[in-house]
Amino acid sequence: MKKTNLTCIECPMGCQIEIITEDDGTIISVNGNSCPRGKLYARNEVVCPMRVITSTVKTDCGNMLAVKSDRPIKRASMASAIKKINALTVKLPVNIGDILLADFCDGANLVATDDLR
C-alpha cells in the first residue's frame, strides 16, 4: 500500500487529503476532503493528473501573446504541448478566445487570453 498526501486546490479551504492506494494504483480510500469536489480532485490527481497550460506565444510583430489550453491536459503530455506552443508564431490581429492551435494536445485547443492588434 502507498499513502499520498495532497492539498486540495478545488476551493480556498485547502483541505489536506490523504489517499491510500494499492501497489497497482487502485484507490482504497480518500480522507480529509470536506466536499465531493475534493474527493474527485484527489482521485484524478493520483490516477491521471491534469493541468491547464498557460503560456505565451510569439506574434508576427514581435510581441508576446498570452495563451492557455481550453481544458486540462495530462501532466505527462505537457512537455510535448509546450514544444508545440514554443514553435508557434501567430499572425495578428488576435481576439480573446481565438483558437490558435486546434486539438494540439489531448483534445485541447490553444486559445488566446488577450486581444492584440
Same domain flag for 58 and 105: yes
Same domain flag for 67 and 23: no
3-state helix, strand, coil in the chain (%, to 5): 20, 40, 40
Tens digits of residue pLDDT in 33-91: 999 999 999 999 999 999 999 999 999 999 999 999 999 999 999 999 999 999 999 99
Q: Which residues of 82-93 are buried (b: 16+ CB within 10 A; e: fewer)?
A: eeebeebebeee
Number of domains in the chain: 2
State residue 30's pLDDT score.
Answer: 97
Neighbours of 53 (CB within 10 A): 19
Segments forming the whole domain that contains residue 17: 2-47
Same domain flag for 35 and 62: no
Q: What CATH number should be reported for the domain holding residue 95? A: 3.10.530.10
| pLDDT at position 25 over 90 | no
Q: Is residue 117 part of a domain?
A: no
Same domain flag for 43 and 64: no
Same domain flag for 75 and 105: yes
Report percent pLDDT > 70 for the chain: 100
Going by their DSSP bridges, the two strands 16-21 and 2-7 should be labelled as antiparallel
